[in-house]
Amino acid sequence: MDPVELADLADLVIRDADVVDGTGAPSYRADVAVKGGRIVSIVKEAAAAGCQRPRARRELDAEGLVLSPGFIDMHAHSDLALLRDPDHSAKAAQGVTLEVIGQDGLSYAPVDDRTLEEVRRAITGWNGYGDDIDFTWRSVGEYLDRLDHGFDGRGIAVNAAYLIPQGTVRALAVGWEDREATPEELDRMRQLVAEGMEQGAVGMSSGLTYTPGMYAEDAELAELCRVVAVHGGYYCPHHRSYGAGALQAYEEMVALTREAGCPLHLAHATMNFGPNKGRAPELLALLDDALAAGADISLDTYPYTPGCTTLAALLPSWASEGGPERILGRLTDGTTAERLRHHLEVTGSDGCHGVPVEWETIEISGVTEPALAEYVGHTVRDSADRRGETPWTVARRLLVDDRLGTTILQHVGHEENVRTIMRHPVHTGGSDGILQGTKPHPRAYGTFPQYLGRYVRELGVLSLEECVAHLTGRPAARLRLPDRGIVREGHRADLVLFDPATVAPGATFDQPRALPTGIPYVLIDGRFVIEDGRRTDVLAGRAVRRTAV
């Protein structure tokens, strides 16, 4: 072969794949050629037509496999994991090629030295304290640059997009106090959000049941959303209640963003706890009415019933004022601790979404203090019964001795709600996966094969084409990524090959870090991240910055 012919060859051709392209359209059989990290040719029904088939330096026989765009995890907590773990098979092995981080209003940029330390302490349960991380950045742009550099300049395991965390912004401009921002502080927050958007963030997140983001009134949030909208981003709130006041909280977010003219993406849009059993249709009716009136709304969910958070998140909001050290001080004061117990067990803490805590539903999934490992895998109720103590005694001990780092599974979901919400046309997939802890939620390792295996193949809740669109094309559209999320000529070669007959999560509640089956190949930028079912040493991930308006 002469040099000219060699130069014309693609890098890779995937032969005879069943292409599910991410649009929701019916699948088709094709050869797909990749060169320079992009899809350069798609020849449909190539073998049957007898036409000229694309040639490449390498060929991959995809007989029996589905080729789809790489999956986009719209709600991830890999903010430090991407810099800690070059393997990151938790996501790479699922076929995830892009994660959206900076979620729930708390992450690591923008910060100053004081705020960074406070945030590290506040979300130790999500990401660890970060003793193994060199926090060389302070701005959003510097953090994204750090992701680009990754490991020795080679990059990170998968791509990542970033949401500006509104709680971190408030901590930087206002502090951790429960009060209204001054006009000067509000201007400072607007400036921080604008700078973060200009530096490449795709939007802004909030954690409106977490300190200090919860202290922002709607008028303040609307002002920040206006800045986000001007820069072409979207607002992603963990809203003020997923329990007793869930529908009102959803209504609040819809109204707020419509006033601000900002697209809305509802984070982990579940209907959990006893008061919401069977009420998913009410949520969807609310969204349908808003969509019909012109609102720009999307949402994400994980395909499981239990939730996952930190034990400290259950505390009432007043206990969190002033930050982590103030919380610990209140827990060690006997009188205040009894007041906390009453709010949790009797009144219904706003941290527990207005529902009195049911300790038999609260399973300890991880601790940062090794001496507390015996509690992991047991509910607070079980541990209390074994010790002859009250549940609050056990919970309080964990909160204090683990310095708020304890993570939990919360068994409060409803399967019919999960299925109903995932069928909605604006639905996308998000793992909400916390990677910390001895026994994390299996959604961190299993969300995407769970959709494809359980909810497509086994239950038929979604067709394969529709499910793939939920996991690829629709999230790419929300992120304003014009060359990702669809198998199309000219698009980036972020691709997954999976076996629709066998794809399934390996992760269970007993073995939460087991890897999935039936996903033999994953490519990012045309390079194999997973090959023959095994993780390669390729680090093709980079920070994915907002597309200019």
Do 30 and 43 touch, CB atoms closer than 8 A? yes
Render the burial of 488-514: b for 16+ CB within 10 Å, e for the rest: beebbbbbbbbebeebbbbbebeebbe
Average confidence (pLDDT) over 71-81: 98
Q: What span, in angstroms and rounded, lies between the C-alpha atoms of 72 and 91?
A: 10
pLDDT of residue 342 exceeding 80: yes
Burial 131-146 (b: 16+ CB within 10 A, else e): eebebebbebbebbeb
Helix ranges restricted to H, 333-408? 334-342, 380-387, 391-401
7 band by pLDDT with thresholds 50, 70 and 90: low
Q: Which two tokens stand for residue 255?
A: 């109204």
Instruction: Please write the tens of the pLDDT for every residue from 366-411.
Output: 999 999 999 999 999 999 999 999 999 999 999 999 999 999 999 9
Q: Facing residues of 410 across strands?
A: 307, 362
The two beta strands, 521-524 and 362-366, are unpaired
502-519 confidence digits (pLDDT tens) = 999 999 999 999 999 999
Residue 1 is predicted with a pLDDT of: 42
- Tokens (6 digits) for 65: 């496999």
At a CB cut-off of 8 Å and minimum separation 6, what does 505 contact?
Answer: 442, 445, 446, 447, 449, 450, 453, 454, 514, 516
| CB neighbour class for 293 (10 Å; exposed up to 12, middle 13-18, buried from 19) | exposed
Residue 547 vs residue 425, higher pLDDT: 425
- C-alpha 465, offset from chain centre: 22
Q: Which two tokens stand for residue 443?
A: 């959604």
**Owner of token pair 């994390």:** 440
Compute the distance between CA of residue 431 and CA of residue 77 in angstroms, rounded to an integer: 9
> Rounded to 5, what percent of the chain is helix, strand, coil?
40, 20, 40
Residue pLDDT, tens place only, 131-182: 999 999 999 999 999 999 999 999 999 999 999 999 999 999 999 999 999 9
For residue 437, pLDDT over 90 is answered with no
Distance CA 171, CA 531 (A): 43
pLDDT (tens digit, 9 = 90+) per residue, 196-219? 999 999 999 999 999 999 999 999
**Could you give the 3-state DSSP secondary structure of residue 58?**
strand
pTM of the model: 0.95
Q: Which residues contact 276 (CB under 8 A, 6 or more apart)?
A: 243, 246, 414, 417
Give the up-direction half-sphere exposure of residue 86: CA atoms within 13 A in the CB hemisphere. 13
